[in-house]
């Protein structure tokens, strides 16, 4: 309750400083920031629900390929190395583009970035379902483009939720948001295998999530505001290093300039909690990603060796694993 009393007041919205770091400014007087007594309105929960739905289909799209990996491998006549490269292209494009979208979302309209990302990855996913077997390189390219589109969503959506809710509620809402990573991943397997078996054509697995993406885009346009009010403005003023560098509202005080991308990255690199958390998550994602891609194919081959199933020579292959 008393932690807000030593925080400086936040400048008006048009003078907010963006980025991880900010140039030092003349210190202003400490102004108490009263704690909010009212909880977030229902509209905020509705906005969070829309963003959670987007995260669901985001990760469903990630794991459509592993759900029908054997069909794709046979259709394009891919080796194991080429099959592994298929997801490597996706991850590399995601990894490179995510910091870029993080920088852009800190300075430009996040709703537009979210909407463009959903539209882009849904369109590319739909288009990839019409690629013929002689153009496998286009399919590889499409997965890389999907990685770019999904990076725009995964980096921006959590920041909107963080702005909508105060610290206690924020943790809960972000936990719910991230729960849809494993839920969406699992549903991606189910969707891919189910559609391939029902339609007897694996291409249909790539035509469902784009339809769900259109719904997410409509909900985003109708329900998510262009700007979200930062409910804990004083706490959001904390820089990565943990120090407040926002000048109090005082005539004649020079505001801090917007920072560059390199300044933001250097500031993050000095935050060892962030660095070690990122390295730990990278190691975990490496293991779970490898298992998620290869275990269904491994189980299929183990069953062939044991004589439980026969090799798949025509589509659709058995995706029960």
Quote the mean pLDDT of the chain: 81
Q: Tell me whether residue 32 is in a domain.
A: no
Q: Tell me whether residue 251 is in a domain.
A: no
Domain total in the chain: 2
Residues 161 and 295 in one domain: no
Residues 218 and 269 in one domain: no
Residues 69 and 146 in one domain: yes
Question: Nearest Cα to 155, choosing from 103, 109, 98?
Answer: 98
Residues 284 and 182 in one domain: no
Residues 229 and 294 in one domain: no
Tell me: the pLDDT tens digits for 246-267? Answer: 444 444 545 555 778 788 889 9
Q: Tell me whether residue 154 is in a domain.
A: yes
Q: What is the pLDDT of residue 41?
A: 82
Q: For position 74, which CATH number holds? A: 1.20.1250.20
Residues 235 and 265 in one domain: no
Residues 229 and 266 in one domain: no
Residues 61 and 144 in one domain: yes
Residues 98 and 155 in one domain: yes
Residues 193 and 288 in one domain: no
Q: Above 60 in pLDDT, residue 276?
A: yes
Q: Above 90 in pLDDT, residue 106?
A: no
End-of-domain residue from the set 241, 274, 301: 241
End-of-domain residue from the set 241, 271, 290: 241
Residues 271 and 142 in one domain: no
Q: Above 80 in pLDDT, residue 289?
A: yes
Tell me: the pLDDT tens digits for 15-68? Answer: 444 444 444 444 445 444 444 445 568 889 999 999 999 999 999 998 999 989
Q: What is the pLDDT of residue 231?
A: 58
State the residue range of the domain holding 268: 260-315
Q: Above 60 in pLDDT, residue 7?
A: no
Q: By the 8 A CB rule, do 65 and 87 touch? A: yes
Tell me: the pLDDT tens digits for 124-134? Answer: 999 999 999 88
- Across 276-293, average pLDDT: 91
φ/ψ of 237, rounded to 5, equals -75, -10
Q: What is the pLDDT of residue 48?
A: 94
Q: Which residues contact 95 (CB under 8 A, 6 or more apart)?
A: none
Residues 98 and 212 in one domain: yes
pTM of the model: 0.76
DSSP state letters, 20-55: S-------------PPP-SPPPHHHHHHHHHHHHHH
Q: Tell me whether residue 92 is in a domain.
A: yes
């Amino acid at each position: 309750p008393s932690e807000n009393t030593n925080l400086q007041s936040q400048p008006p919205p048009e003078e907010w400083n963006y980025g991880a770091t900010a140039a030092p400014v003349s210190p202003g007087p400490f102004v108490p920031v009263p704690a909010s007594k009212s909880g977030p309105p229902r509209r905020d929960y509705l906005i969070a629900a829309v963003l959670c739905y987007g995260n669901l289909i985001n990760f469903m799209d990630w794991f459509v390929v592993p759900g029908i990996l054997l069909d794709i491998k046979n259709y394009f006549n891919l080796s194991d190395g080429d099959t592994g490269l298929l997801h490597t292209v996706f991850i590399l494009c995601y990894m490179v583009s995510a910091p870029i979208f993080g920088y852009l979302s800190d300075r430009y309209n996040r709703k537009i970035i979210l909407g463009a990302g959903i539209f882009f990855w849904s369109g590319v996913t739909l288009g990839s379902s019409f690629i013929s077997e002689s153009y496998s390189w286009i399919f590889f390219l499409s997965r890389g483009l999907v990685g770019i589109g999904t990076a725009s969503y995964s980096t921006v959506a959590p920041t909107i939720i963080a702005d909508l809710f105060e610290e206690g509620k924020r943790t809960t809402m972000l936990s719910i948001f991230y729960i849809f990573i494993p839920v969406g991943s699992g549903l991606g397997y189910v969707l891919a295998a189910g559609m391939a078996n029902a339609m007897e054509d694996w291409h249909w697995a790539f035509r469902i999530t784009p339809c769900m993406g259109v719904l997410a885009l409509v909900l985003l346009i109708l329900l998510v505001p262009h700007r979200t009010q930062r409910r804990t403005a004083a706490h959001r003023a904390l820089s990565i290093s943990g120090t407040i560098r926002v000048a109090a509202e005082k005539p004649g005080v020079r505001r801090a300039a917007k920072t560059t991308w390199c300044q933001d990255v250097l500031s993050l690199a000095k935050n060892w909690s962030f660095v070690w958390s990122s390295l730990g998550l990278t190691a975990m994602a490496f293991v779970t990603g490898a298992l998620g891609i290869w275990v269904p194919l491994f189980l299929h081959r183990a069953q062939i060796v044991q004589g439980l199933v026969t090799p798949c020579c025509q589509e659709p292959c058995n995706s029960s694993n």
